[in-house]
Amino acid sequence: MVDFRFKYISMYVPMDRFYSSYLFTCLAEKYVSKNMEHPDKDSIEALEAEAKILGTELALQNAGNTNNRLKLEITKMAEVLEKQRMVLEKADDNRKEAKLIFSTLMELNKNGGSDWAEPSNPVKSGAPTGDANLVEETKLSQ
């Protein structure tokens, strides 16, 4: 530590910049060490309050980061759910279509396929048959 008797010498003797800086540092160290040995309640309470504020700010920052991360996860989950909904909707449409095809095939099998293969009036249905061609040829020849 510095002997403070030199403090008064500096008033009369010009000192260089580095030595005066050294003296200031020594004085500051002595002041800090003195106050650390016998700290007053106000400085302790002020430090505790500042620590609480810093802790609260850090907790709020962490909560904000967690909130943003959760929002991102929710957005990703919503996208996944939308894709799953679309797949399930398409699967349901395919199931309905397959059910219709299967019921149609079962109905045809039940009727022996008569409704499907032989239309009642081939001329109206537009299906080419030998008889229809003959009718057209006779009309053209007349």
pLDDT in tens, 90-126: 999 999 999 999 999 999 988 876 655 554 554 454 5
Mean pLDDT, rounded, for 74-86:
97
Does residue 53 have a pLDDT over 70? yes
The per-residue pLDDT for 83 is 97
Element (H, E) at 142: none
DSSP state of 7: H
d(CA 49, CA 62) in angstroms, rounded, equals: 20
Higher pLDDT, 139 or 113: 113
**pTM exceeds 0.75, yes or no:** no
Q: Give the amino acid at 52.
A: K
Separation in Å, CA 132 to CA 46, 118, 126, 128: 109, 14, 9, 7
The angle formed by the CA atoms of residues 25, 31 and 32, to the nearest 5 degrees, is 90
